């Protein structure tokens, strides 16, 4: 494994990569632990599949509108996601546009609100 691959896999922050069709291409171990889904299950979903939009601090948005908004440019925000067991989890997220093999994709980072990762991101 490369240094970057090892860092991705060992990161405490949940990380995913998704494409323009919002299909997940990869997820790290922290994302799977955070959501309760296996990598195989994550690969079956589209980005935003587990958002609880009604509990977001912003105005109600459809899932498609939310995803469209976060993929327009780098975004940092708060949301509530539904874990596999059905429990809600308030998170902070960051979405960064990128490219893999000259194809557009997005890197998503997600961590529970109120953790030390959140404090570091606000500096």
Chain centroid to CA 27: 9
102: DSSP letter = T
Q: In the structure, what pLDDT confidence band is assigned to residue 119 with cuts at 50, 70 and 90?
A: very low
Residues 34-54: tens digit of each pLDDT: 999 999 999 999 888 887 755
Residues 69-115: tens digit of each pLDDT: 666 666 888 888 999 999 999 999 998 889 888 888 999 999 999 87
Of residues 4 and 2, the one with the higher pLDDT is 2
Hey, where are the domains in the chain? 50-123
Do 1 and 9 form a contact (C-beta atoms < 8 A)? yes
**Residue 3 parent element (H or E):** helix 3-10
Residues 91, 38: Cα–Cα separation, whole Å: 19
Q: Which CATH architecture has domain 50-123?
A: 2-Layer Sandwich (3.30)
Of residues 64 and 117, the one with the higher pLDDT is 64
Of residues 53 and 56, the one with the higher pLDDT is 53
Q: Given this model, what pLDDT does residue 71 score?
A: 64
In this structure, the number of other CB atoms found within 10 A of the CB of residue 93 comes to 18
Q: Given this model, what pLDDT does residue 56 score?
A: 47
Residues 97, 83: Cα–Cα separation, whole Å: 25
């Amino acid at each position: 494994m490369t240094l970057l691959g090892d860092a991705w896999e060992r990161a405490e922050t949940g990380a995913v990569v998704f494409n323009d069709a919002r299909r997940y291409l990869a997820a790290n171990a922290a994302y799977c632990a955070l959501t309760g889904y296996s990598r195989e299950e994550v690969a079956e979903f589209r980005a935003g599949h587990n958002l609880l939009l009604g509990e977001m601090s912003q105005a109600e948005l459809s899932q498609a509108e939310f995803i469209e908004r976060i993929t327009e440019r780098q975004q940092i925000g708060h949301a509530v996601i539904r874990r596999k067991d059905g429990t809600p989890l308030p998170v902070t997220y960051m979405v960064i546009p990128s490219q893999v093999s000259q194809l557009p994709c997005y890197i998503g980072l997600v961590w529970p609100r109120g953790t030390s990762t959140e404090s570091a991101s606000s500096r």
